[in-house]
Amino acid sequence: MHLPLLHDRIAQAAGRLPADPALRAQFITCALNTIETTTERLNDGSTFVFTGDIPALWLRDSSAQVRHYLLLAADVPEVQVLVAGLIRRQMDCILLDPYANAFNKGPTGGGHPGDLTEAHPMVWERKYEVDSLCYPLDLAWQLWKRSGVTAVFDDTWRKAVRTVAALFRTEQRHFEDSPYRFERPHAVQTDTLRNRGRGMPVNYTGMTWSGFRPSDDACEFGYLIPANMFAVVALRHSAEILRTVCHDVALATELEALAEDIDHGIQAYGTVLHPVHGKIYAYETDGFGNHHLMDDANVPSLLSIPYLGYASADDPVVQATRRFVLSRYNPYFQQGSRAQGIGSPHTPPGYVWPIGLAMQGLTSSDHQERLALIAMLRDCDAGTGLMHESFHPDRPEEFTRPWFAWANTLFAELLIETYGLNGRNS
C-alpha cells in the first residue's frame, strides 16, 4: 500500500536525523515496512495488518505496527482512515472470539487446526493473552488523543469493550468460572497449557489470568504482571473515552472499578524484595506466594512499564525493576561482543531481541544510552536494513525471522522519540 502523504512525512522525518546515510536509509525502510509489506485495505473498508512472515493478524502486533504512523502523521486523513479501519477489524475479531490472539483474513481455517480448544475458521491461533485485548483498546485511545477522531467509538466498539471487561472479570477467577481450555498435542511445553489445558492453579488476587505471554509462550504462573499493568491502563483509557465521547457513565464506572481491582492485586501480590535490587515487580505470580523473576523482550514487559503508561520512569520500584531486568539476575539478559540486552525463551538461548533494545531506549531518560542503543541496532541488522526477531550478540548475521514488522516499527519509534521527529514539521 502507498499513502503519499505518509510517505512524505517519513521522508521529511528522515531528513532531520543525523547525517548518517545508513541510519537514514534504515529508518525509511523500517518505518515503511508495515504500510508497504503487511497492510491491506479490505472490501468492507477495514484494514488487515499481518505480522510479516506469518500471514495472520495478531491483535497485539497489528496495533504496535501502526503506532509510529500516529506519532508522525496523526493529522493526515489517510492515516486516520488506515488506523480506524484496523480498529474496526480488531473489534470484530474480539467479538468473534475474545480468547483468540491471531486471526485469518477470511474463514480459511489457516493456522493450528490441531489445537484442542474451541475452533473457528477465522482464527489462526487461540492462545489467550491479556495483552491481545489491551492493545486494540490502547490503539483506539491513541488515535483519539492524537487526531481527535471519534467515529470508531460506535456500538461495535462499545460492545467489544463490554466483552473485554466481562472476560477480564471471568478470568479473575479462572478455575472457578472460565470456559477456556487450550492444548497443543505433541508440542513443546511452552506451546501448550498444563493441567488438561487449564494451566496451573492460581489464587484469587484481583488480577486477571493469562494463559500465554506476549511472546505466545505459556505462562508459568497465571498472573502476568506486565499484562495486568497494561490492562489497568487500557481499562482506564477506555473509561475516559466512554465518559468524554460516548457519555456512558455506567460502563465507564464499571471499567474503572475493574481497573482498581487489578491494580490492587498488582500492588498486593506482584512485588518481591530482591536481595540485591530491593523491592521490584515480579514477572509472574500465582497468588499463592510463588513468583517468577525474569523479563522477556516482548511487550508488555517489565522494562516497558513507563512506555505502557502504568507508572513513571522515576518511580523507585520501576527504577529498581529496570536495574534488575538489565542485569545478570534476569535469566534472559544476554551479553556479547556486539550487543547486550533482553532476549526471550521463545528464541535460541543467548539471542538478543531488537524489540527489547528499542524498548530499553524508549524507556531511558539517558540520551547517551539511547544513542548507544540506536547505534547497536543500526550495526546489528546483518546488512539487511531491517530489524529481526532476535540475533546472536556476537554474530548478528545469525538471526531469526527476516520479516518481522513489529521490530521494524519499534526501531522507527525509537528514532522518532529520540530525535523529536513527531508531528507536521518533522
The model's pLDDT over 109-138, given as tens digits with 9 standing for 90+, comes to 999 999 999 999 999 999 999 999 999 999
Per the structure, the count of domains in the chain is 1
* Neighbour count for residue 414 (Cβ, 10 Å): 25
pLDDT of residue 425: 42
Q: In 134-162, which positions are buried (b, 16+ CB within 10 angstroms) versus exposed (e)?
A: bbbbbbbbbbbebbebeebbeeebbebbe
Percentage of the chain beyond pLDDT 70 is 99
Mean pLDDT of 421-425: 66
Half-sphere exposure of 298 (CA within 13 A, CB side): 20
Rounded distance between C-alpha atoms, residue 263 and residue 231, angstroms: 9
pLDDT tens, position by position, 372-422: 999 999 999 999 999 999 999 999 999 999 999 999 999 999 999 999 998
**Of the candidates 339, 351, 405, 298, which has an alpha carbon nearest to the alpha carbon of residue 36?**
405
CATH of the domain at 291: 1.50.10.10
Is 424 among the domain residues? Answer: no
Max CA pair span of the chain: 59
CB 38 within 8 A of CB 48: no
Mean pLDDT of 247-269: 98
Angle at the Cα of 154 from the Cα atoms of 151 and 158, rounded to 5 degrees: 135
Burial class (CB in 10 A: 0-12, 13-18, 19+), 319: middle
C-alpha cell at 396: 548478528
Q: Which domain holds residue 343?
A: 4-418
Map grid coordinates 520479516 to a residue: 403
* Neighbour count for residue 314 (Cβ, 10 Å): 9
Q: What is the dihedral of CA 403, 388, 33, 422, to 10 degrees?
A: 160
Rounded distance between C-alpha atoms, residue 17 and residue 20, angstroms: 8
421 Cβ neighbours under 8 A, 6+ residues apart: 13, 16, 17, 71, 72, 415
Question: Confidence class of residue 2 from pLDDT cuts 50, 70 and 90?
Answer: confident
pLDDT tens, position by position, 3-56: 999 999 999 999 999 999 999 999 999 999 999 999 999 999 999 999 999 999
**Of the candidates 84, 67, 60, which has an alpha carbon nearest to the alpha carbon of residue 148?**
84
Rounded distance between C-alpha atoms, residue 386 and residue 380, angstroms: 9
pLDDT tens, position by position, 285-301: 999 999 999 999 999 99
- Would you tell me the crossing angle of helices 77-96 and 130-147 to the nearest 10 degrees? 150
pLDDT of residue 20: 97
Is 65 among the domain residues? Answer: yes
Question: Confidence class of residue 423 from pLDDT cuts 50, 70 and 90?
Answer: low
Chain-centroid distance, C-alpha 363: 15
Phi, psi of 32 (to 5 degrees): -90, -10
Strand partners, 342: 333
Cis (ω within 30 of 0) for the bond into 300? Answer: yes
C-alpha cell at 123: 482464527
Strand partners, 116: 183
Quote the pTM value. Answer: 0.98
Is 425 among the domain residues? Answer: no
**Of the candidates 297, 294, 304, 292, which has an alpha carbon nearest to the alpha carbon of residue 400?**
297
pLDDT tens, position by position, 54-93: 999 999 999 999 999 999 999 999 999 999 999 999 999 9
Is 426 among the domain residues? Answer: no
Rounded distance between C-alpha atoms, residue 280 and residue 290, angstroms: 14
Rounded distance between C-alpha atoms, residue 140 and residue 302, angstroms: 23
